[in-house]
Structure 1
Amino acid sequence: MSVRALVVDPSASAAVRLAEVPDPVPGPGQVLVDVSHASLNYGDLNDARSGRIPVGAVLGSDAAGVVARAAADGTGPAVGTRVVALAAGAFAERVAIDVGALAEVPKGLGLARAVALPVAGVAALRSLRAAGLGPGKRVLVTGASGGVGRFAVQLAARAGAHVIASVGSAARGEGLAEAGADEVLIGLAGLRRPVDVVIDSVGGPQLAAVWSLLAPGGSVQSVGWTSGEPAVFPPYATVGPAKSLTSFVIEGDVGTDLALLTELAAKGFLTVEIGWQGSWDRFDEAAEALRGRRVSGKAVLTVTSEGPRTPMPSPQGQG
Protein backbone atom coordinates (compact mmCIF):
# COMPACT_ATOMS: atom_id res chain seq x y z
CA MET A 1 0.00 0.00 0.00
CA SER A 2 1.11 3.53 -0.66
CA VAL A 3 -0.01 7.13 -0.18
CA ARG A 4 0.78 10.32 -2.01
CA ALA A 5 3.15 12.80 -0.43
CA LEU A 6 5.28 15.85 -1.16
CA VAL A 7 8.88 14.65 -1.20
CA VAL A 8 12.24 16.37 -1.60
CA ASP A 9 13.54 16.36 -5.17
CA PRO A 10 16.37 18.80 -6.03
CA SER A 11 15.55 18.48 -9.75
CA ALA A 12 12.01 19.88 -9.27
CA SER A 13 11.38 23.60 -9.64
CA ALA A 14 10.73 24.13 -5.91
CA ALA A 15 12.86 21.09 -4.95
CA VAL A 16 9.62 19.28 -4.07
CA ARG A 17 7.31 16.96 -6.03
CA LEU A 18 4.28 14.76 -5.47
CA ALA A 19 5.16 11.07 -5.26
CA GLU A 20 3.94 7.74 -3.94
CA VAL A 21 5.47 6.62 -0.64
CA PRO A 22 4.84 3.54 1.51
CA ASP A 23 1.85 3.61 3.84
CA PRO A 24 3.15 4.61 7.30
CA VAL A 25 3.42 1.95 10.00
CA PRO A 26 2.65 3.44 13.44
CA GLY A 27 4.51 2.61 16.63
CA PRO A 28 2.65 1.70 19.85
CA GLY A 29 2.32 5.34 20.96
CA GLN A 30 1.35 6.71 17.57
CA VAL A 31 -1.94 7.34 15.80
CA LEU A 32 -2.52 7.26 12.08
CA VAL A 33 -4.02 10.48 10.78
CA ASP A 34 -5.72 10.98 7.43
CA VAL A 35 -4.43 14.45 6.57
CA SER A 36 -6.77 16.98 4.99
CA HIS A 37 -4.68 20.15 5.41
CA ALA A 38 -1.03 21.08 5.77
CA SER A 39 0.66 24.38 6.50
CA LEU A 40 3.76 25.56 4.66
CA ASN A 41 6.52 27.23 6.67
CA TYR A 42 9.54 29.16 5.45
CA GLY A 43 11.68 26.54 7.17
CA ASP A 44 10.13 23.82 4.98
CA LEU A 45 11.44 25.60 1.88
CA ASN A 46 14.92 25.74 3.40
CA ASP A 47 14.72 22.08 4.44
CA ALA A 48 13.94 21.08 0.85
CA ARG A 49 17.10 22.75 -0.49
CA SER A 50 19.57 22.53 2.39
CA GLY A 51 19.98 18.76 2.50
CA ARG A 52 18.62 18.55 6.05
CA ILE A 53 15.74 16.45 4.68
CA PRO A 54 17.13 13.64 2.48
CA VAL A 55 16.18 13.35 -1.18
CA GLY A 56 12.98 11.31 -1.49
CA ALA A 57 11.91 11.93 2.12
CA VAL A 58 8.54 13.47 2.92
CA LEU A 59 8.64 17.19 3.72
CA GLY A 60 6.61 19.18 6.22
CA SER A 61 5.78 19.67 9.88
CA ASP A 62 2.20 21.00 10.16
CA ALA A 63 -0.73 18.64 9.56
CA ALA A 64 -4.42 18.48 10.43
CA GLY A 65 -6.96 15.78 9.76
CA VAL A 66 -8.87 12.91 11.30
CA VAL A 67 -7.57 9.96 13.30
CA ALA A 68 -7.84 6.81 11.16
CA ARG A 69 -6.31 4.42 13.70
CA ALA A 70 -5.92 4.88 17.44
CA ALA A 71 -2.64 4.21 19.23
CA ALA A 72 -2.04 0.55 20.08
CA ASP A 73 -1.00 1.39 23.64
CA GLY A 74 -4.38 2.98 24.39
CA THR A 75 -3.13 6.54 24.66
CA GLY A 76 -4.23 9.49 22.58
CA PRO A 77 -7.45 10.32 20.71
CA ALA A 78 -9.98 7.86 19.35
CA VAL A 79 -10.72 7.07 15.72
CA GLY A 80 -12.65 9.90 14.07
CA THR A 81 -11.20 12.66 16.26
CA ARG A 82 -10.19 15.85 14.45
CA VAL A 83 -6.58 16.65 15.34
CA VAL A 84 -3.76 19.05 14.54
CA ALA A 85 -0.13 18.04 14.87
CA LEU A 86 3.51 19.00 14.56
CA ALA A 87 5.22 15.98 13.02
CA ALA A 88 8.10 15.25 10.69
CA GLY A 89 6.94 14.22 7.21
CA ALA A 90 3.57 15.92 7.60
CA PHE A 91 2.95 16.52 3.88
CA ALA A 92 1.34 13.16 3.13
CA GLU A 93 -2.17 11.77 2.81
CA ARG A 94 -1.64 9.61 5.88
CA VAL A 95 0.90 10.17 8.66
CA ALA A 96 1.91 8.26 11.81
CA ILE A 97 2.10 10.79 14.65
CA ASP A 98 3.20 10.54 18.30
CA VAL A 99 0.29 11.19 20.64
CA GLY A 100 2.38 13.85 22.41
CA ALA A 101 2.74 15.80 19.16
CA LEU A 102 -0.93 16.50 18.55
CA ALA A 103 -4.06 18.02 20.05
CA GLU A 104 -7.76 17.62 19.45
CA VAL A 105 -9.27 20.46 17.44
CA PRO A 106 -12.15 22.08 19.35
CA LYS A 107 -15.57 22.51 17.81
CA GLY A 108 -15.89 25.79 16.01
CA LEU A 109 -12.33 25.77 14.67
CA GLY A 110 -11.90 24.59 11.10
CA LEU A 111 -8.97 22.34 10.20
CA ALA A 112 -7.69 24.85 7.64
CA ARG A 113 -7.14 27.36 10.44
CA ALA A 114 -6.01 24.85 13.05
CA VAL A 115 -3.21 23.63 10.76
CA ALA A 116 -1.63 27.10 10.76
CA LEU A 117 -0.88 26.81 14.48
CA PRO A 118 1.78 24.11 15.09
CA VAL A 119 5.16 25.52 13.98
CA ALA A 120 4.29 29.23 13.93
CA GLY A 121 2.03 29.25 16.98
CA VAL A 122 4.23 27.08 19.16
CA ALA A 123 7.34 29.06 18.15
CA ALA A 124 5.63 32.33 19.07
CA LEU A 125 4.31 30.98 22.37
CA ARG A 126 7.52 29.31 23.52
CA SER A 127 9.90 32.05 22.43
CA LEU A 128 7.85 34.66 24.30
CA ARG A 129 7.78 32.40 27.33
CA ALA A 130 11.55 31.85 27.16
CA ALA A 131 12.17 35.59 26.87
CA GLY A 132 10.33 36.32 30.10
CA LEU A 133 7.18 37.92 28.75
CA GLY A 134 5.13 39.87 31.26
CA PRO A 135 2.78 42.85 31.68
CA GLY A 136 4.38 46.16 30.80
CA LYS A 137 7.33 44.64 28.92
CA ARG A 138 8.31 46.31 25.65
CA VAL A 139 8.22 43.57 23.03
CA LEU A 140 9.56 43.98 19.50
CA VAL A 141 8.43 41.47 16.89
CA THR A 142 10.33 41.54 13.60
CA GLY A 143 8.85 40.01 10.47
CA ALA A 144 5.55 40.67 12.23
CA SER A 145 3.42 40.08 9.13
CA GLY A 146 4.49 36.44 8.89
CA GLY A 147 3.10 33.39 10.63
CA VAL A 148 5.22 33.49 13.79
CA GLY A 149 5.08 37.28 13.89
CA ARG A 150 1.31 37.64 13.83
CA PHE A 151 0.88 35.06 16.56
CA ALA A 152 3.64 36.66 18.65
CA VAL A 153 1.98 40.09 18.37
CA GLN A 154 -1.34 38.71 19.58
CA LEU A 155 0.07 36.59 22.40
CA ALA A 156 2.29 39.40 23.69
CA ALA A 157 -0.59 41.87 23.63
CA ARG A 158 -2.80 39.38 25.44
CA ALA A 159 -0.13 39.15 28.16
CA GLY A 160 -0.25 42.92 28.69
CA ALA A 161 2.97 43.86 26.89
CA HIS A 162 3.60 46.99 24.85
CA VAL A 163 3.98 45.47 21.38
CA ILE A 164 6.03 46.95 18.55
CA ALA A 165 5.54 45.24 15.19
CA SER A 166 8.28 45.63 12.57
CA VAL A 167 7.41 44.93 8.92
CA GLY A 168 8.99 45.45 5.51
CA SER A 169 6.35 47.75 4.04
CA ALA A 170 3.18 49.63 4.96
CA ALA A 171 1.09 47.02 3.13
CA ARG A 172 2.64 44.24 5.21
CA GLY A 173 1.58 46.05 8.37
CA GLU A 174 -2.13 45.97 7.63
CA GLY A 175 -4.18 44.42 10.41
CA LEU A 176 -1.38 44.35 12.98
CA ALA A 177 -2.77 47.23 15.04
CA GLU A 178 -6.07 45.38 15.21
CA ALA A 179 -4.15 42.25 16.25
CA GLY A 180 -2.73 44.10 19.26
CA ALA A 181 0.34 46.02 18.09
CA ASP A 182 0.74 49.37 19.85
CA GLU A 183 3.21 50.51 17.19
CA VAL A 184 3.71 49.34 13.61
CA LEU A 185 7.08 50.32 12.10
CA ILE A 186 8.68 49.94 8.69
CA GLY A 187 11.93 48.24 9.62
CA LEU A 188 13.17 49.88 12.82
CA ALA A 189 12.52 53.48 11.74
CA GLY A 190 11.42 55.61 14.68
CA LEU A 191 12.34 53.10 17.37
CA ARG A 192 14.35 54.99 19.96
CA ARG A 193 13.54 53.58 23.39
CA PRO A 194 15.07 50.25 24.44
CA VAL A 195 13.01 47.07 24.31
CA ASP A 196 12.91 44.17 26.77
CA VAL A 197 12.09 41.33 24.40
CA VAL A 198 12.74 40.76 20.70
CA ILE A 199 11.20 37.91 18.72
CA ASP A 200 13.31 37.96 15.56
CA SER A 201 12.55 35.97 12.43
CA VAL A 202 14.49 38.17 9.98
CA GLY A 203 18.13 37.83 11.03
CA GLY A 204 20.89 39.53 9.07
CA PRO A 205 21.67 43.23 9.63
CA GLN A 206 18.39 43.70 11.44
CA LEU A 207 19.42 41.20 14.11
CA ALA A 208 22.55 43.23 14.84
CA ALA A 209 20.44 46.38 14.93
CA VAL A 210 17.87 45.03 17.41
CA TRP A 211 20.70 43.86 19.67
CA SER A 212 21.76 47.49 20.05
CA LEU A 213 18.17 48.40 21.03
CA LEU A 214 17.90 45.73 23.74
CA ALA A 215 17.63 46.94 27.32
CA PRO A 216 19.91 45.51 30.04
CA GLY A 217 18.53 42.15 31.12
CA GLY A 218 16.61 41.83 27.85
CA SER A 219 16.40 38.85 25.51
CA VAL A 220 16.50 38.38 21.75
CA GLN A 221 14.96 35.10 20.63
CA SER A 222 16.23 34.10 17.17
CA VAL A 223 13.36 32.07 15.68
CA GLY A 224 14.17 32.45 11.97
CA TRP A 225 16.44 34.05 9.38
CA THR A 226 14.29 34.96 6.39
CA SER A 227 16.73 37.64 5.19
CA GLY A 228 19.32 35.03 4.28
CA GLU A 229 21.98 37.63 5.04
CA PRO A 230 24.81 37.53 7.60
CA ALA A 231 24.58 39.52 10.82
CA VAL A 232 27.70 41.59 11.50
CA PHE A 233 28.09 43.04 15.00
CA PRO A 234 30.29 46.11 15.41
CA PRO A 235 33.28 45.87 17.77
CA TYR A 236 32.34 45.84 21.45
CA ALA A 237 28.63 45.44 20.64
CA THR A 238 28.54 42.45 22.99
CA VAL A 239 30.50 44.11 25.80
CA GLY A 240 28.36 45.82 28.41
CA PRO A 241 25.38 45.25 30.69
CA ALA A 242 24.11 41.67 30.59
CA LYS A 243 21.56 40.79 27.92
CA SER A 244 21.08 37.68 25.82
CA LEU A 245 20.76 36.43 22.26
CA THR A 246 19.23 32.97 22.31
CA SER A 247 18.88 30.47 19.48
CA PHE A 248 15.45 28.87 19.31
CA VAL A 249 14.10 25.54 18.15
CA ILE A 250 10.94 23.63 19.02
CA GLU A 251 11.78 20.53 21.05
CA GLY A 252 9.82 17.89 22.97
CA ASP A 253 6.09 17.23 23.08
CA VAL A 254 3.92 20.09 21.88
CA GLY A 255 0.48 18.66 22.62
CA THR A 256 -0.19 20.85 25.65
CA ASP A 257 0.82 24.03 23.85
CA LEU A 258 -1.18 23.05 20.77
CA ALA A 259 -4.24 22.46 22.95
CA LEU A 260 -3.87 25.95 24.43
CA LEU A 261 -3.44 27.59 21.02
CA THR A 262 -6.40 25.79 19.45
CA GLU A 263 -8.58 26.72 22.42
CA LEU A 264 -7.61 30.38 22.10
CA ALA A 265 -8.31 30.28 18.36
CA ALA A 266 -11.65 28.52 18.80
CA LYS A 267 -12.77 31.15 21.33
CA GLY A 268 -11.70 34.01 19.09
CA PHE A 269 -8.83 35.14 21.32
CA LEU A 270 -6.23 34.24 18.69
CA THR A 271 -6.84 35.15 15.05
CA VAL A 272 -5.42 32.89 12.37
CA GLU A 273 -4.77 34.74 9.12
CA ILE A 274 -4.43 32.68 5.97
CA GLY A 275 -2.72 34.63 3.22
CA TRP A 276 -2.61 31.80 0.67
CA GLN A 277 -4.69 28.63 0.36
CA GLY A 278 -4.88 26.04 -2.39
CA SER A 279 -4.35 22.41 -3.36
CA TRP A 280 -0.99 20.84 -2.66
CA ASP A 281 -0.76 20.35 -6.44
CA ARG A 282 0.02 24.09 -6.44
CA PHE A 283 2.97 23.74 -4.07
CA ASP A 284 5.30 25.63 -6.42
CA GLU A 285 2.93 28.61 -6.41
CA ALA A 286 2.68 28.62 -2.62
CA ALA A 287 6.46 28.33 -2.26
CA GLU A 288 7.06 31.22 -4.65
CA ALA A 289 4.55 33.42 -2.82
CA LEU A 290 6.11 32.62 0.55
CA ARG A 291 9.68 33.22 -0.62
CA GLY A 292 8.60 36.46 -2.26
CA ARG A 293 7.04 37.61 1.01
CA ARG A 294 3.64 37.95 -0.62
CA VAL A 295 1.87 35.94 2.10
CA SER A 296 0.56 37.71 5.18
CA GLY A 297 0.05 35.12 7.87
CA LYS A 298 0.12 31.50 6.75
CA ALA A 299 0.07 29.47 3.54
CA VAL A 300 -2.26 26.46 3.79
CA LEU A 301 -2.25 23.46 1.48
CA THR A 302 -5.36 21.35 0.94
CA VAL A 303 -4.36 17.70 0.68
CA THR A 304 -6.32 16.19 -2.18
CA SER A 305 -6.68 12.46 -2.74
CA GLU A 306 -7.03 10.73 -6.11
CA GLY A 307 -9.48 8.26 -4.65
CA PRO A 308 -10.99 6.87 -1.43
CA ARG A 309 -8.49 5.85 1.20
CA THR A 310 -8.43 2.36 2.60
CA PRO A 311 -10.18 2.20 6.01
CA MET A 312 -7.78 1.29 8.80
CA PRO A 313 -8.77 -1.50 11.21
CA SER A 314 -8.43 -0.66 14.88
CA PRO A 315 -5.51 -2.26 16.74
CA GLN A 316 -6.33 -5.25 18.87
CA GLY A 317 -8.04 -4.19 22.06
CA GLN A 318 -9.20 -0.82 20.69
CA GLY A 319 -12.58 -2.03 19.47
Structure 2
Amino acid sequence: MPDSVDLGVASALPVAGVSALQALRGLGPVIGRRILVTGASGGVGRYAVQLGALAGAHVVAAVGSPERGAGLTELGAAEVVVGLDNVTEPVFGVLENVGGALLAQAYGLLADGGIVQSIGHASGGSTMIDFEAIRHLGSRMRIEAYRLDWAFGPDLAYLLQLLDQGRLDPQIGWRGSWDRVAEAAAALLERRIRGKAVLDVT
Protein backbone atom coordinates (compact mmCIF):
# COMPACT_ATOMS: atom_id res chain seq x y z
CA MET A 1 0.00 0.00 0.00
CA PRO A 2 1.62 3.31 -1.05
CA ASP A 3 2.10 5.66 1.90
CA SER A 4 0.49 8.51 0.00
CA VAL A 5 -2.81 6.66 -0.53
CA ASP A 6 -5.52 7.19 2.08
CA LEU A 7 -7.04 3.93 3.34
CA GLY A 8 -10.57 5.22 2.82
CA VAL A 9 -9.78 6.14 -0.76
CA ALA A 10 -8.13 2.75 -1.37
CA SER A 11 -11.25 0.99 -0.06
CA ALA A 12 -13.17 2.31 -3.08
CA LEU A 13 -11.08 0.25 -5.50
CA PRO A 14 -12.40 -3.26 -4.91
CA VAL A 15 -14.67 -4.65 -6.20
CA ALA A 16 -15.71 -2.05 -8.79
CA GLY A 17 -12.24 -1.01 -9.91
CA VAL A 18 -10.96 -4.56 -10.14
CA SER A 19 -14.07 -5.66 -12.06
CA ALA A 20 -13.62 -2.86 -14.58
CA LEU A 21 -9.94 -3.73 -15.05
CA GLN A 22 -10.50 -7.45 -15.49
CA ALA A 23 -13.46 -6.99 -17.84
CA LEU A 24 -11.52 -4.48 -19.94
CA ARG A 25 -8.66 -6.94 -20.19
CA GLY A 26 -11.17 -9.53 -21.43
CA LEU A 27 -11.80 -7.41 -24.53
CA GLY A 28 -8.20 -7.81 -25.66
CA PRO A 29 -6.07 -4.94 -27.06
CA VAL A 30 -8.19 -1.79 -27.28
CA ILE A 31 -5.66 0.87 -28.26
CA GLY A 32 -7.10 2.97 -31.07
CA ARG A 33 -10.41 1.07 -30.96
CA ARG A 34 -13.95 2.14 -30.08
CA ILE A 35 -15.36 0.62 -26.91
CA LEU A 36 -18.75 1.19 -25.33
CA VAL A 37 -19.34 1.43 -21.58
CA THR A 38 -22.98 1.15 -20.53
CA GLY A 39 -24.05 2.31 -17.09
CA ALA A 40 -21.02 4.57 -17.32
CA SER A 41 -22.12 6.75 -14.41
CA GLY A 42 -22.08 3.83 -11.95
CA GLY A 43 -19.29 2.51 -9.77
CA VAL A 44 -17.87 0.03 -12.28
CA GLY A 45 -18.66 2.29 -15.22
CA ARG A 46 -16.65 5.24 -13.95
CA TYR A 47 -13.58 3.06 -13.52
CA ALA A 48 -14.18 1.44 -16.92
CA VAL A 49 -14.23 4.85 -18.63
CA GLN A 50 -10.93 5.85 -17.02
CA LEU A 51 -9.15 2.55 -17.60
CA GLY A 52 -10.36 2.32 -21.18
CA ALA A 53 -9.01 5.79 -21.91
CA LEU A 54 -5.70 4.94 -20.21
CA ALA A 55 -5.47 1.86 -22.45
CA GLY A 56 -5.78 4.05 -25.54
CA ALA A 57 -9.40 3.29 -26.47
CA HIS A 58 -11.98 5.70 -27.89
CA VAL A 59 -14.48 5.38 -25.06
CA VAL A 60 -18.20 5.87 -25.69
CA ALA A 61 -19.89 6.34 -22.31
CA ALA A 62 -23.62 5.57 -22.25
CA VAL A 63 -25.82 6.88 -19.44
CA GLY A 64 -29.52 7.04 -18.64
CA SER A 65 -29.90 10.82 -18.52
CA PRO A 66 -27.88 13.95 -19.33
CA GLU A 67 -27.40 14.60 -15.61
CA ARG A 68 -25.78 11.19 -15.12
CA GLY A 69 -23.24 12.01 -17.82
CA ALA A 70 -21.75 14.94 -15.92
CA GLY A 71 -17.99 14.61 -15.45
CA LEU A 72 -17.45 11.60 -17.71
CA THR A 73 -15.63 13.58 -20.39
CA GLU A 74 -13.16 14.69 -17.73
CA LEU A 75 -12.60 11.03 -16.84
CA GLY A 76 -11.61 10.23 -20.43
CA ALA A 77 -14.82 9.55 -22.35
CA ALA A 78 -14.49 10.61 -25.99
CA GLU A 79 -18.29 10.56 -26.35
CA VAL A 80 -21.10 10.69 -23.79
CA VAL A 81 -24.49 9.47 -25.03
CA VAL A 82 -27.91 9.08 -23.44
CA GLY A 83 -29.09 5.59 -24.36
CA LEU A 84 -27.72 3.82 -27.43
CA ASP A 85 -29.93 5.13 -30.23
CA ASN A 86 -27.34 7.74 -31.21
CA VAL A 87 -24.44 5.28 -31.36
CA THR A 88 -24.21 4.77 -35.11
CA GLU A 89 -20.70 3.35 -35.59
CA PRO A 90 -19.76 -0.22 -34.62
CA VAL A 91 -17.69 -0.81 -31.50
CA PHE A 92 -14.88 -3.28 -30.91
CA GLY A 93 -16.07 -4.18 -27.44
CA VAL A 94 -18.66 -3.42 -24.79
CA LEU A 95 -18.35 -3.28 -21.01
CA GLU A 96 -22.02 -3.82 -20.19
CA ASN A 97 -23.35 -3.00 -16.72
CA VAL A 98 -27.11 -2.68 -17.28
CA GLY A 99 -28.42 -5.91 -18.80
CA GLY A 100 -31.93 -6.41 -20.13
CA ALA A 101 -32.88 -4.76 -23.40
CA LEU A 102 -29.76 -2.58 -23.34
CA LEU A 103 -27.53 -5.65 -23.46
CA ALA A 104 -29.32 -6.81 -26.61
CA GLN A 105 -29.00 -3.36 -28.18
CA ALA A 106 -25.31 -3.16 -27.29
CA TYR A 107 -24.68 -6.58 -28.82
CA GLY A 108 -26.14 -5.31 -32.09
CA LEU A 109 -23.53 -2.54 -32.15
CA LEU A 110 -20.56 -4.91 -32.21
CA ALA A 111 -18.16 -4.99 -35.12
CA ASP A 112 -17.35 -8.43 -36.52
CA GLY A 113 -15.18 -10.21 -33.96
CA GLY A 114 -16.35 -7.94 -31.16
CA ILE A 115 -16.98 -8.94 -27.56
CA VAL A 116 -19.51 -7.92 -24.93
CA GLN A 117 -18.33 -8.37 -21.36
CA SER A 118 -21.59 -8.68 -19.41
CA ILE A 119 -20.63 -7.35 -15.98
CA GLY A 120 -23.81 -6.22 -14.26
CA HIS A 121 -27.59 -6.41 -14.40
CA ALA A 122 -28.75 -3.08 -12.98
CA SER A 123 -31.95 -3.09 -15.03
CA GLY A 124 -33.17 -6.37 -13.61
CA GLY A 125 -34.80 -7.09 -16.98
CA SER A 126 -34.46 -10.12 -19.23
CA THR A 127 -32.45 -10.05 -22.45
CA MET A 128 -33.83 -11.25 -25.78
CA ILE A 129 -31.57 -11.20 -28.83
CA ASP A 130 -32.85 -11.91 -32.34
CA PHE A 131 -29.79 -13.62 -33.77
CA GLU A 132 -31.46 -14.14 -37.14
CA ALA A 133 -31.94 -10.39 -37.51
CA ILE A 134 -28.37 -9.43 -36.66
CA ARG A 135 -26.22 -12.33 -37.82
CA HIS A 136 -25.56 -10.50 -41.11
CA LEU A 137 -23.48 -8.03 -39.07
CA GLY A 138 -20.80 -10.65 -38.52
CA SER A 139 -20.24 -14.25 -37.57
CA ARG A 140 -17.77 -13.98 -34.71
CA MET A 141 -19.40 -11.65 -32.18
CA ARG A 142 -19.88 -13.01 -28.69
CA ILE A 143 -21.12 -12.26 -25.19
CA GLU A 144 -19.07 -13.34 -22.19
CA ALA A 145 -20.50 -13.39 -18.66
CA TYR A 146 -17.90 -11.65 -16.52
CA ARG A 147 -16.92 -13.34 -13.26
CA LEU A 148 -14.60 -11.69 -10.78
CA ASP A 149 -11.26 -13.46 -10.45
CA TRP A 150 -10.85 -13.41 -6.68
CA ALA A 151 -7.07 -13.81 -6.92
CA PHE A 152 -6.96 -10.09 -7.66
CA GLY A 153 -3.99 -9.03 -5.54
CA PRO A 154 -1.86 -8.00 -8.54
CA ASP A 155 -4.80 -6.15 -10.14
CA LEU A 156 -5.48 -4.24 -6.92
CA ALA A 157 -1.79 -3.39 -6.62
CA TYR A 158 -1.85 -2.01 -10.17
CA LEU A 159 -4.88 0.17 -9.41
CA LEU A 160 -3.22 1.44 -6.23
CA GLN A 161 -0.18 2.37 -8.32
CA LEU A 162 -2.37 4.36 -10.72
CA LEU A 163 -4.04 6.03 -7.75
CA ASP A 164 -0.67 6.91 -6.22
CA GLN A 165 0.48 8.39 -9.55
CA GLY A 166 -2.65 10.52 -9.84
CA ARG A 167 -3.73 8.70 -13.00
CA LEU A 168 -6.91 7.20 -11.54
CA ASP A 169 -9.73 9.06 -9.80
CA PRO A 170 -11.44 6.88 -7.15
CA GLN A 171 -14.72 8.72 -7.73
CA ILE A 172 -15.78 8.99 -4.11
CA GLY A 173 -19.07 10.85 -4.16
CA TRP A 174 -19.83 10.62 -0.44
CA ARG A 175 -17.76 10.06 2.69
CA GLY A 176 -18.80 10.09 6.31
CA SER A 177 -18.80 8.34 9.66
CA TRP A 178 -20.00 4.76 10.08
CA ASP A 179 -22.95 5.97 12.16
CA ARG A 180 -24.32 7.63 8.99
CA VAL A 181 -24.68 4.30 7.19
CA ALA A 182 -28.44 4.70 6.72
CA GLU A 183 -27.91 8.09 5.08
CA ALA A 184 -25.27 6.67 2.73
CA ALA A 185 -27.42 3.66 1.82
CA ALA A 186 -30.43 5.85 1.04
CA ALA A 187 -28.36 8.17 -1.13
CA LEU A 188 -26.97 5.23 -3.09
CA LEU A 189 -30.37 3.59 -3.57
CA GLU A 190 -31.86 6.89 -4.72
CA ARG A 191 -28.94 7.37 -7.15
CA ARG A 192 -27.96 10.70 -5.60
CA ILE A 193 -24.29 9.75 -5.42
CA ARG A 194 -21.99 9.73 -8.42
CA GLY A 195 -19.39 7.07 -7.74
CA LYS A 196 -18.67 5.39 -4.41
CA ALA A 197 -19.70 5.98 -0.81
CA VAL A 198 -17.05 5.49 1.89
CA LEU A 199 -17.80 4.98 5.58
CA ASP A 200 -15.04 5.75 8.09
CA VAL A 201 -14.86 3.37 11.07
CA THR A 202 -13.17 4.94 14.08
Same fold (TM over 0.5): yes
Q: Larger Rg: 1 or 2?
A: 1
Q: Which of 241, 249, 252 pairs up with 2:150?
A: 252
Aligned to 1:31: none
Aligned-partner SS, 2:126: coil
Look up the equivalent residue of 2:120 and give its one-letter code: G
Contact 1:212 1:237 in 2 (8 A): no
Q: Which of 53, 58, 63 pairs up with 1:162?
A: 58
Aligned to 1:25: none
Aligned-partner SS, 1:198: strand
Q: 1:280 to 1:232 in 2, by over 3 A?
A: farther
**Residue correspondence of structure 1 range 119-268 to structure 2 within 5 A:** 119-234=15-130, 236-237=132-133, 239=135, 240-268=138-166
Say how many residue pairs are matched.
Answer: 200
How much identity, in percent, do the aligned residues show?
52
Look up the equivalent residue of 1:193 and give its one-letter code: E
- Report which of the two has the higher share of strand: 1
Distance 2:133 2:143 in 1: 12
Distance 1:238 1:299 in 2: 40
- Kindly state the Cα deviation for residue 145 of structure 1 after the two structures are TM-superposed: 1.0
Distance 1:172 1:266 in 2: 27
* TM superposition outliers: structure 1 runs of 4+ over 3 Å: 237-240
Aligned to 1:280: 178
Q: 1:237 to 1:120 in 2, by over 3 A?
A: farther
Aligned-partner SS, 1:233: coil
Q: Which of 275, 284, 294 pairs up with 2:192?
A: 294
Distance 1:235 1:214 in 2: 13
Deviations 1:95-137 (A, max 9, x none): xxxxxxxxxx212211121111010111011100011132111
| Higher mean C-alpha displacement, 279-288 vs 196-205 | 279-288
Aligned-partner SS, 1:281: helix
- Report which of the two has the higher share of helix: 2
Aligned-partner SS, 1:127: helix
- Kindly state the Cα deviation for residue 293 of structure 1 after the two structures are TM-superposed: 2.1
Q: CA RMSD in A?
A: 1.5
Deviations 1:38-87 (A, max 9, x none): xxxxxxxxxxxxxxxxxxxxxxxxxxxxxxxxxxxxxxxxxxxxxxxxxx
Distance 1:152 1:174 in 2: 16
Aligned-partner SS, 1:218: strand
Higher relative contact order by CA 8 Å / sep ≥ 6: 1 or 2? 2
TM-score (norm 2): 0.93
Distance 1:117 1:204 in 2: 26
